[in-house]
Structure 1
Amino acid sequence: MSEPGPESVPTSADPRSKRPTKRRAITPHSEQAGEIETLFKDPSKEIRLPESSNPRTSSSLAPPPEIVTNVQGSSAGAGSGEFHVYKASRRREYERLRLMQSEVDKEKDNSNWEKQREEAKRRDDEKTEKNRKRREKKRNARGKKGGGKDTTMEVDKPSTTKGPSMPSQVDQDASAEGQVSYGEVPGVIIHDED
């Protein structure tokens, strides 16, 4: 076997050839790869993304014509060219009506949702108020029945009376060491009734 010579290389692929290389059909994969390569050539270049299209509304469409001349149906003596004009105008009008109907439906859905939300909020507020009244009633009944003693947790407040108060556990420990102090230490007292 002999070594491949210059005659076995296609003319367009030969580096000595001045002819341009043949362009092949671009596949989506090669097109995407080419776009990525161009982006990576200059990373500092700003990338412009296409703006998102706004949703179509009936106001974004062209308004229907004020005066329609030569009104005719799809088969009322029209020629072959007029049929397509009629179909296009009918399609535009149906599209306009469909968008108007979708806007009305959307507004109706939004108003129904607002009503449901307000109703749910009102029910929640009523239930909360009912529970609050029940808790207050229960608390008041418990306060009268127990002789003024409340079973809830209380936070000690510093004594405002002048003179010594009852020594707390910390004060008793301090007095055992020979130091006397009669101030109360703030803390939490839990009253248990068994």
Structure 2
Amino acid sequence: MNAQQFELPAGRFDAPKDPAPAASGASGASDRGRGRGEPRNNASGAADNARRPAAATGGGHVGPATAADAQRRQLDALMKHPEREIVLPAAPSKHRAPRGPKDLIHHVAGSTAGAGSGEFHVYRNAKRREEARLRALDEMSEAERADYEFHARAQQFKEEEAAALAKKRSKRQRKKQLQQLRNKKARQEGGQKTGGERATNEDDDDDDEDDSEEEEEGEGGPAEPEAAAASILKPSTSD
């Protein structure tokens, strides 16, 4: 047989060649080939930093720097939509009943009589928890009853105070109305009295005028007729 019959195609069984190293691979290779005291390649480090996020490299700050910045961001976000309703979370209740015992307790004996020393604490804790829950429920019911009685008494006091105020208000209004009627009547009587005094004064003035006229007539009135009669009765000189 000739050697040409057993000749294999070129490149089929050749050793595989190393692929072209990537940037990260090159940097990793350079780091692996780098000695302990040798400096790192700056070009590969810059490429790695360019691929990393800004927060990781320290090039930009994502979150708020201070508490004032965080509060400012919250206020800006709140005032951006003023028409949006703000829902405040409800305050936790002060009276909270403790968690009750489990309904089913597994991996223990079914009865306290058959429970061993290692299982007795399970039933004891369940009993204590149930007693604490019942005690808390009793305290809550007592607090609710006291609160209800307090509000009922406060409402009763308010109603009594409102009734007393209404009674005093009506009494003051009646007194005010009576005083107004008295003042009106006094004004009317004062007007009539003033009118009567005015008419009396006018009559007195008329009487005074009449008296003065009579006095004037009494002084010069009778002398004039006597002079007239004397002039008539006196004989004339011409005769």
TM-score of the aligned structures, taking structure 2 as reference length: 0.37
The structure with more helix, counted as a fraction of residues:
2
Instruction: Tell me: higher relative CO, structure 1 or 2? Use CA pairs within 8 A at least 6 residues apart.
Output: 1
TM-score of the aligned structures, taking structure 1 as reference length: 0.44
Computing the radius of gyration from Cα coordinates, the structure with the larger value is 2
